[in-house]
Chain A
Amino acid sequence: MPDGSPLSALHSIRFKGCETDILCAEDQKVLMAMEQKIHFPNPRPVRVGCRKGGCGACRVKVTKGSYTAEKSSRTHVTEEEAAEGYALACRISPRSDLELEPAFLGPRRPVENGD
């Protein structure tokens, strides 16, 4: 399904530390809207990785607004963290204007069990 169809309601997304707000449609993912609208030479406020909820590169904390989230790896966002507003930007769509800040964790040294 194409992202950002013209029939879908648009919301404003503000990234902490980024001068320009972007618009994101309700049927679009926040990360893909950012990729479309912010590119070189402007630095992207959130890192782009797999775009599929697996790698954690686009981990953010949503500090204001409501959104829907699709399934993503619990390695990067636990249930408790999700309740606190953490999410992967590639898995969330806005339901209101949003404010968010990058929360990429980087590689973690302790061994994890995957599941």
Chain B
Amino acid sequence: MSQEGLLRPGIIQLRVLDMDEAITHYRDRIGLDFVSQEADGRVYLKAFDEFHRHSVVLREADSAGIDFFAFKADGQEAVDGFRKRIEEYGVDVTDVAEGEMPGTGKRISFMIPSGHRIDIYADMELSETAPETHNPYVWKDEPRGMRAQRLDHCLLYGPNLPEVEKFFTEVLDFHIPERVDLPDGTLAIWMTVSNKAHDIAFVNHPEPGKLHHVAFFLEDWSDIGHAADVMTRYDISRDIGPTRHGITRGQTIYFFDPSGNRNEVFCGGYTAYKDHPTRVWDGNHVGRGIFYYERQMNDAFLSVVT
């Protein structure tokens, strides 16, 4: 295996205002499978094509937004290695005990300069409904709703982008397929620890700790159209799309969950190898970078976050 260290995004924990509405949205509309609800009220879900127990965790709260985003590492030795590098860099690391989430091993947890919490872990049980691995069908049960295949990435809004970039590239071994640089500084960075066009992205924003969107991967442009049909049928609040991003080249719809957290369904996107040069956008062309067909940003893109 040539990819070592961090493998991929593994868990997002979101705050929702009403759990029942959130379950209907994430299970029946986006099409995630309900895994469990635990004694503390948190609800665990996974996409049909994911192997591990859960990827999306919902927590009922009186505000919307993100609690944390977690990356899965290729073993406890790698987690221990990251812990050492993070602490040597001067960032405090907190332990999260095994079992804090069902079926999930111990995690390390730390705050990044944008005001977001990131966790790293190595172990999670395989799901009882994991995709088949012996003479597999493409799915066992017909995918529901928007037919999300997996948690793909998130875009976070917060301050101190240069420090965030330095931390992710120097300490966590991410690389940067794409960026937007304005005359007065970096507006946005798209970063990956794999060869997806992005595993996590950041936009410069004065208020720390904000969520712009969490994205779910769909199979193709045809499924994006199907997702749009689902949104109209169930009167889901849509932001923009179906359209394409110039940045990452992914095809997309932005929409909102019942608590106002922005979701994305995303397909396509180029393959980003670590030895590829970074694509750079400037302020005169960023509209086409964000929304390739509209060629301008909408009012909500830069300001509507939870």
Give the size of the chain A interface in residues (CB under 8 angstroms): 25
A74 within 8 A of B: yes
Q: What's the nearest-Cβ distance from chain A to residue B234, in Å?
A: 11
B169 at the binding interface (Cβ < 8 Å): no
**A interface footprint on B190-233 (CB within 8 Å = 1, 0 otherwise):** 00000000000000011111100000000000000000000000
Query: In whole Å, how far is B112's beta carbon from the nearest beta carbon of chain A?
Result: 13
Beyond A52-B258, A53-B259, A109-B206, whether A114 also contacts B115 by CB under 8 A is no
Give Cα distance in the complex from A74 to B258, angstroms.
15
Complex Cα distance, B303 from A106, in Å, reads: 8
Bound form: Cα–Cα A108–B61 in Å = 20
| Interface residues of B, dominant DSSP | loop
Asked if A74 and B62 make an inter-chain contact with CB atoms under 8 angstroms apart, the answer reads yes
Taking CB atoms, residues of chain B closer than 8 Å to A2 are 235
Q: Complex Cα distance A107/B204, Å? A: 12
Q: Is the interface of A mostly helix, strand, loop or mixed?
A: loop
Contacts across chains A and B counted by CB atoms under 8 Å? 87
Which of the segments A5-13, A16-24, A42-50, A94-102 contacts the partner chain?
A42-50
- Residue A66 at the chain B interface, CB threshold 8 Å: no
Report chain A residues within 8 Å CB of B182. Answer: none
Q: How many residues of B contact A (CB 8 A)?
A: 32
Residue A115, interface by CB 8 Å? yes
Identify the stretch in B31-39, B63-71, B130-138 within 8 Å (CB) of chain A at 4 or more residues.
B63-71
Do A111 and B61 touch (CB < 8 A)?
Answer: no
Chain B residues near A73 (CB-CB < 8 A): 17, 62-64, 259-260, 306
Interface: B50 (CB within 8 A):
no
- Tell me the A residues contacting B by CB distance below 8 Å: 1-2, 47-55, 57, 71-75, 106-109, 111-112, 114-115
**Contact sample, A vs B, 10 pairs, CB 8 Å cutoff:** A48-B300, A49-B304, A54-B17, A55-B64, A55-B305, A57-B300, A74-B63, A111-B209, A114-B209, A115-B62
